[in-house]
Amino acid sequence: MTRVIQLGNFGDDGGGISSVLREFESWEWPTSRHTFVDTYATDPRLWGARRLLAAASTLVRRRKSFDVAHIHLSEKGSFVREGLLVRLAQALGLRVVVTMHGATFVEFANQYSWLARGVLKHANAIACLTDPTVNELQALGVTNVTLIPNAVSADQLTADETPMADRMITVFVGEVSRRKGVDVLLDAWRSVSATYPGARLEVYGGPVDVDVPSGGAIATHGRRPRDEVRQAVRSARLLVLPSRAEAFPMAILEAMAAGIPVVATDVGQVRDMIDDDELVVPAEDAEQLAQAMASLYADGARAEAAAVRNEARYARLFSPRVVAEKYEVLYAAGAAHV
């Protein structure tokens, strides 16, 4: 068994990295066992330095307990915070695997190429979620990169037996922000709800910089427990994610695993995830977003076909079994035994 320490934002903040790490924790890994250490507290003081120092102490004290340090990076402060752990893990003789997260990593790397190169040269293998990230790193001279998607578990929550044609709920899951395109969604939803008066938009996520009016055809729920959100997605007609920037959104994977149609914007790796040109629309285009959502209300058979295709695509490409095997190849390739 390869012994892996997972280092990243493991806090229950609903963010992308914490969602990925909580998924990893729930999986059955065939040839590796995993220890999870949180590296970041949502605390504005010193960028959560206490959590970082505790993680570094764990690495040093328990270095003989691990073969691989799997470190999760995004952008900005992460390249200082978790970037220090990349260097420390290499200095301790561990094999270092990095996963690159972050919806705006390419822009960050263009601006701070010296920092990106300086950290990533200490990694033995780098897993990227998107093709643009792979291309950016290769342009920086980083060659030990591979494309590995996110994955989610198809959990055992109660299946909703309501026929797709009878469902009237659209679900949004994520931070309620302009980056997630919630302002565009509100514009689009006015058209959808006018055409389909029984349709309802359910918004799950904490407010950031967009105010969502609750009432009538819209309900806001704030941040809710993960199982509650997953159950809401399972009962929906569709999930919508109108983001201006993404990498490999976990919300889309949740919907695909549940067999739910998805309407989303053409950012990050979204087009490759959904593989349906009519349901992937340009960012910031409220009219096309409304048309795509309305198409799934207008035609129950169309919605059902999208749901079936999503579930099959999830099982083939984005299940834990498929993704865990890809990571275990990286772990096993010359893992150090200190």
The confidence band for 51, taking pLDDT boundaries of 50, 70 and 90, is: confident
Triad 301, 152, 2: Cα angle to 5°: 150
17 phi, psi to nearest 5 deg: -65, -45
Contacts of 262 (CB under 8 A, 6+ apart): 238, 239, 240, 241, 252, 255, 256, 274, 279, 306, 310
> With pLDDT > 70 as the criterion, what percentage of the chain qualifies?
94
Position 133 pLDDT exceeds 60 = yes
pLDDT score for 14: 57
Q: Give residue-wise pLDDT tens across range 227-271.
A: 899 999 999 999 999 999 999 999 999 999 999 999 999 999 999
Position 220 pLDDT exceeds 50 = yes
User: What is the arithmetic mean of pLDDT over 109-127?
Assistant: 96
Q: Give residue-wise pLDDT tens across range 269-304.
A: 999 999 899 999 999 999 999 999 999 999 999 999
Q: Name the CATH superfamily, with its identifier, for domain 2-151+319-332.
A: Glycogen Phosphorylase B; (3.40.50.2000)
Closest to 157 in 3D by CA, of 233, 211, 60: 233
pLDDT score for 70: 98
pLDDT score for 156: 61
pLDDT score for 334: 54
Position 322 pLDDT exceeds 90 = yes
- Indicate the range of 44-48, 77-81, 97-101, 206-210 predicted with least confidence: 44-48
The confidence band for 226, taking pLDDT boundaries of 50, 70 and 90, is: confident
pLDDT score for 44: 52
pLDDT score for 40: 81
Exposure class string for 197-214: b at 16+ Cβ within 10 A, else e:
eebbbbbbbeeeebebee
> With pLDDT > 90 as the criterion, what percentage of the chain qualifies?
84
- The rounded distance, in Å, linking the Cα atoms of 139 and 113 is 10
- The rounded distance, in Å, linking the Cα atoms of 239 and 264 is 8
The confidence band for 50, taking pLDDT boundaries of 50, 70 and 90, is: confident
User: What is the arithmetic mean of pLDDT over 41-57?
Assistant: 75
**How much is the mean pLDDT over the chain?**
92
pLDDT score for 215: 87
Same fold, 2-151+319-332 and 164-317: yes
Domain ranges of the chain: 2-151+319-332, 164-317
Regarding the domain delimited by 164-317, which CATH topology (the fold level of the hierarchy) does it fall under?
Rossmann fold (3.40.50)
The confidence band for 41, taking pLDDT boundaries of 50, 70 and 90, is: low
User: What is the arithmetic mean of pLDDT over 109-126?
Assistant: 96
pLDDT score for 281: 98
User: What is the arithmetic mean of pLDDT over 3-20?
Assistant: 83
- The rounded distance, in Å, linking the Cα atoms of 28 and 30 is 6
Position 337 pLDDT exceeds 60 = no
pLDDT score for 338: 30
pLDDT score for 15: 67
Burial category of 147 from C-beta neighbours within 10 Å (exposed 0-12, middle 13-18, buried 19 and up): middle
pLDDT score for 42: 61
pLDDT score for 49: 80
The confidence band for 336, taking pLDDT boundaries of 50, 70 and 90, is: very low
